[in-house]
Structure 1
Amino acid sequence: MPAFEYQALDQTGRKVRGVITADTEQAARRDLRRKSLAPLAVGRADERKAGSGDAASGGGENLLDRLRAKNLSPRELMLVTRQLATLIEAGLPVAEAISLVGGQHDKHHVRRALLSVRARVMEGGRLSEALTAFPGSFPPVYRALVSAGEGSGALGRVLERLSDYLEKAQAIRNRITGALIYPAVLTVVALLVVTLMMTVVVPRIAEQFTGMGMALPLLTRIMIALSEFMQIWALPLVGIMFAGGVVLGVMLQRPAVKKPFDGFVLRVPMIGGFMRTTEAARFARTMGILLDSGAVLPEALRAAQRAMSNMALASRVSEIIRDVETGRALSDAMKTSKIFPALMLHMVTAGERSGALADMFERSADQLEQEIDGSVTVGLSLLQPMIILGLGIIVVLIVLSIMLPILQLNTMFLG
């Protein structure tokens, strides 16, 4: 039975919105009228376009709805996955579990997505196929893991493992976000202070010195030139940087641009190494879950490839897939690609020999994630003093540019 998203007026004239299941749109409208609701707009919950009654509901609200984020956030996806895993492991049918989780959720876009997925499952589709209606909420690797769980008959266990993985990723994101709050505030304050000094303080003092007709020190002349430049070009430069960031973000949506850009990122010192480790950990974790769920090796490799965000590295995995499909050992193919850490290669080789490949991928992921966690901790601990040091150097240079002419004047008078 399909799910329909609606906007309607209640008995007090207040506009309400929600999701209802019915056989057809006309049946959904009849059900709404039975509930003393006057339908304004009704449409399939998994359709991205507006319903048939958009004109009646008012264009302004529809535009606002389109601008709002409709996808599940990483935290929402993690919580939904955990709840589904618990209910399915307890023996509930998939459709009923989705209905319970979606029905009790207080956020409209989450309830809308889950009830739409439930409707597709009720129509006879597989859960992994139903999730394709919301690709922004359920990424390809998520759907691949669900598909592997359905194929092996261990969907609940796979969802449990997947929720653990999402929970770890969410914990790392929360820790990084929390640790970056103070440096971000410090950076903004530092930029404001420097901008104020360069556009207000330095020009006032420069007027005094230039009026005396004295030869200014080199550092003072440089600061005055920078001050004049900032007064004229500060706002245009901010606008250009913002526009450049937007254009770059749009261009990176194109594979022809993203792939060479990702390759460039890998060559940047420190950042490239961290990116390689992060992608290797994501690849290993995905492979471990898929192989443990009964997925065949080429299928697991393709799903792990889709989980990688760096296109330059993902393209190298295509070579590994081709080698494996021609009968080559996975460890040999991974060594040839030269994109994975040596520790991971050794553990994969040992896993092939012992028949515990899934377990070795899991252990590799644990080791790499610990390494990532340590790198993040060190990087965040160094960020704050580096910002303070940079601000201190800039302030000292500005103060020196002001003090040097004063000292020069004192020397002249005393001389």
Structure 2
Amino acid sequence: MLFTYKVILPNGKLFQQTLKAKDEEEVATVLRSKNLQILSIRKIRQQQSIFAKGVSNFEKANFCRYFSVMIKSGLSLSEALDIISSETENKTFKSILQDLQFEIQQGGSISDTLSKYPQVFDEVFLALVKAGEHSGSLEKTFYYLSEQLYASHRLTKKIQGAMMYPAVILIAMLGMGIGMMLFVLPKLSETFMKMKIEMPPMTKAVFAFGTFVGKNVMPVSFVLLSVIVIIVFLFTFYQTRRAIGSFLVNLPILSKLFRQMDWARFARTLATLLQSGVPVIESLNISAQVLTQNDMKKVASNFEKELEKGKTIAEVLGKGKKAFPSLMIQTIKTGEKTGTLDSILLDVALFYENELEDMLKELSSMLEPIIMLVLGIAVGAMVLIILAPVYSILGDLQGPGGAAGR
């Protein structure tokens, strides 16, 4: 639980801050141990919701950049965190930064405090911070982290941008389909079913469905809404997103795309860890966590064992049957020989990020005509099914009775 407290400092100044603790008694004990005069302690009511706003990579990147600059300028960690938290609008992140500030004031470490929030800070982030604390280079560590997070944010935005047009078209198609099913089809069904005319089986089935929907608009609407709510609700759980993601990344049509993404993220993560002084074996094990393809994960599971045998990173990556591309392996081999592995890995990451961007553009340009073709076929099928009885009526009117009238 989070508490806010007001105390009088030994110098007579009023001080207000927040603290994470089990109860008010624990807060009071901590404050008394620092010889502070307590004025008030109040529990902060936090709304618990599955839809509560998380912390984006962009927000974390901004924090790392500002924190690095402030440390470089000579501000203490506590002062820097106080300034950043006061400017942070995200309540979740503000609470974390305030907790971090208090723990630092109590003599705690940044990595230990942030490890309490695994849903926000992954192992890569924590390992880099821990390495920076041990080496006394937090300024550089947070700068590297900001670059890593900004790169991840840009990559995510490129993917979202490429998929935006197809997603909008699909949502529009779905919306129009539901609107037609609930409001248009029932009226057409009622009109044509009353005419007692002979209709093709498909048309009869569609109109029978339309009649059913027309008589049960509220129940059908409730079922549709419930399905949408359940799908959205399931996607709020990490396990659901992970299961769907694991299925999608291994689909043949998407596998090549995700392979490029894996190579780029693996190279950038490994480069950032090595630049920050994290040991090679630990860096490889942490970097392996960004991999999604099964064959790459299999190679990664043997990283530690193979390196302990004295093999190089290039040799270990080359053990997999084309899990990692030969271009990447040869480039890493060169970096190991020349002692420039970290900078070489950044070049590799940039290369595959550009390749991924080109693939996304190609995929988007391919999806547009396919979606339009599917949309045209769907509209054409509905027109034929619904217009068939109209032509049947016109044919009847122009039959023997119609001819006699002339």
The question of a shared fold, defined as TM-score above 0.5 by the shorter chain, is answered with yes
The DSSP-based 3-state class of the residue aligned with 1:5 is strand
The CA deviation string for residues 44-97 of structure 1, in whole angstroms up to 9 with x for no partner, is: xxxxxxxxxxxxxxxxx54x2566637433222111111011122334444443
Instruction: Indicate whether 1:201 and 2:184 are aligned.
Output: yes
Give the secondary-structure state (helix, strand or coil) at the position aligned to 1:213: coil
What is the Cα deviation at residue 141 of structure 1?
0.9
Q: Describe the SS at the equivalent of 1:283.
A: helix
Asked if 1 retains the 8 angstrom alpha-carbon contact of 2:250 and 2:293, the reply is no
Contact 1:277 1:341 in 2 (8 A): no
Instruction: Pick which of 229-238 and 381-390 moved more.
Output: 229-238
Q: 1:308 to 1:98 in 2, by over 3 A?
A: farther
Of 95, 102, 106, 2:85 maps to 102
Q: CA deviation at 1:407?
A: 1.9
CA distance in 2, matches of 1:71, 1:204: 45
Unpaired stretches in structure 2, ≥5 consecutive residues: 7-15, 400-406
**Which position in structure 2 is the counterpart of 1:77?**
60
Is contact 1:117-1:133 (8 Å) kept?
Answer: no
Quote how far apart the aligned CAs of 1:241 are: 6.2
- Kindly tell me: are residues 304 and 401 of structure 1, through their superposed partners in 2, closer, same or farther at Cα, counting changes over 3 Å? same
C-alpha displacement of 1:278? 1.4
Structure 2 residue 63 is matched with structure 1 residue 40: no
- Counterparts of residues 260-275 of structure 1 (less than 5 Å): 264-275=247-258
Q: Which moved more, 1:132-141 or 1:301-310?
A: 301-310
Distance 2:213 2:249 in 1: 34
Q: How far apart are 1:287 and its partner, in Å?
A: 0.6
Partner of 1:243: 230
Change in CA separation of 1:340 and 1:332 when aligned onto 2, cut-off 3 Å: same
1:251-400 alignment, distance < 5 Å: 252=239, 258=243, 264-308=247-291, 313-314=296-297, 316-338=299-321, 339-400=323-384
Inter-CA distance 95–318: structure 2 relative to 1 (3 Å threshold): farther
Cα distance in structure 2, aligned partners of 1:387 and 1:405: 29
Correspondence list, 1:198-237, <5 A = 198-224=181-207, 227=210, 235-236=222-223
1:272-331 per-residue CA deviation (whole Å, 9 max, x = no partner) reads 222222122111101111122222210111221234467885454122222112222222
CA drift of 1:250 comes to: 4.9
**Aligned 8 A contact 1:324 1:330 in 2:** yes
Aligned position for 2:98: 115
Distance 1:317 1:199, change over 3 A: same
Alignment match, 2:397? 413
1:89 equivalent in structure 2: 72
Asked if structure 1 preserves the Cα contact closer than 8 Å seen for 2:181 and 2:213, the reply is yes
| Contact 2:85–2:94 (8 Å) recurs in 1 | yes
Instruction: Determine if contact 1:85/1:157 at 8 Å carries over to the other structure.
Output: yes
Aligned to 1:162: 145
* Distance (whole Å) between structure 2 residues aligned to residue 251 and residue 41 of structure 1: 29
2:173 aligned to which of 187, 190, 197: 190
Across the two proteins, how many residue pairs are aligned to each other?
Answer: 378
Distance in 2 of aligned mates of 1:403 and 1:382 = 32
Instruction: Return closer, same or farther for 1:226/1:144 CA change in 2, 3 Å cut-off.
Output: farther
Aligned-residue RMSD, C-alpha: 3.8
Bigger Cα Rg: 2
Query: Would the alpha carbon gap of residues 86 and 309 (structure 1) be closer, same or farther in structure 2, given more than 3 Å must change?
Result: farther
State the shift of 1:109 in Å: 3.2
Q: Aligned partners of 1:67, 1:359: CA distance in 2, in Å?
A: 41
TM score, norm. by length of structure 1: 0.76
Instruction: Supply the distance in 2 between the matched residues of 1:395 and 1:156 (Cα, whole angstroms).
Output: 59
CA contact (8 A) 1:266 1:275 kept: yes
- Contact kept? 2:2, 2:18, Cα under 8 Å: yes
Which amino acid in structure 1 is aligned with residue 199 of structure 2?
L
